[in-house]
Amino acid sequence: MRTETLATNIVMEANAARSRRKSVIIGSLSVYVSILFFSCSHVNRFPQAVWTAASPRRKLAAKRGKKHMKRLASVLVIACGLPLTAAAADFPAERIVAAASGDWNRDGLADLALIVRPADVEGDEDNGLYVYLANPDESRLELKLALPNTVWGGLTLYGQEPSLAALANGSFTLTTRNESVGRDRWRQTLTIAYRNNDFIVAGYTYASYDTLDPNGGRDCDLNVLTGKGKSAGKTFAGAPLFAELKSWDDATGRKACGIED
């Protein structure tokens, strides 16, 4: 009888603890959602005085108030503005492999780039690249460029993950690599810029090495816009190229660098 009573008490305590944790989680989510909803609802009316009052250096905050407000608006564009149709109908969140946020078109608002896995991960398709620009009139992100089945790489093996990174000048990089399988290990980076209302490849960087041949490595750093670069330790100058990202072929970069497959 005592054993049954003890077991019952243990179960009741466990259930009570589980209920308390659930209440804390729900409460935290409620607060987060409320804050996010308030922010989204007031993204165009958030008082600059909040920045000044919240900062321990009020004079500096007053001088930089407008800059802080622009940053806040940029963050809220991402948090509040991504259309649900783009996030849910086109691809679910679990398919997003990498993301980078920056000001691609230099309008003072945060834009977004995503690498997304194909729906059928067992199929032959590669990842897709989706680039969004902020719409200042509607405070949301709009899909500017969609390139499905263009980005090599996966998450199954370490060293084959594609990645994105925002640069300070408003461009971003797209990196693919194989640093884990076979003799031929390589890393390739495209520097992508927004020019003439389109995304172009401004830079091409490639490096590889052979795990069995110390002299089997190749490397190149090419400024696609000027045609100038450096390969195998030597500088070279080729023809400048205005290459749209949607029609880019990696063979173009390798050929300009004098790299043969």
Closest CA to 132 of 144, 146, 115: 144
- Rounded to an integer, what distance in angstroms lies between the CA atom of residue 90 and that of residue 193? 25
- Rounded to an integer, what distance in angstroms lies between the CA atom of residue 247 and that of residue 157? 29
Query: Looking at residue 166, what is its pLDDT?
Result: 98
Q: How many CA atoms lie within 13 A of 7 on its CB side?
A: 4
DSSP 145: E
pLDDT tens digits along 53-105? 333 443 444 444 444 444 444 444 444 444 433 433 367 888 999 999 999 99
Predicted model pTM: 0.67
DSSP 243: E
Locate tokens 């199954």: which residue?
156
The answer to whether 149 and 128 are in contact (CB under 8 A) is: yes
Query: Looking at residue 30, what is its pLDDT?
Result: 41
Locate tokens 């993204």: which residue?
43
Which contiguous run of DSSP H or E holds residue 190? strand 184-195
DSSP 89: I
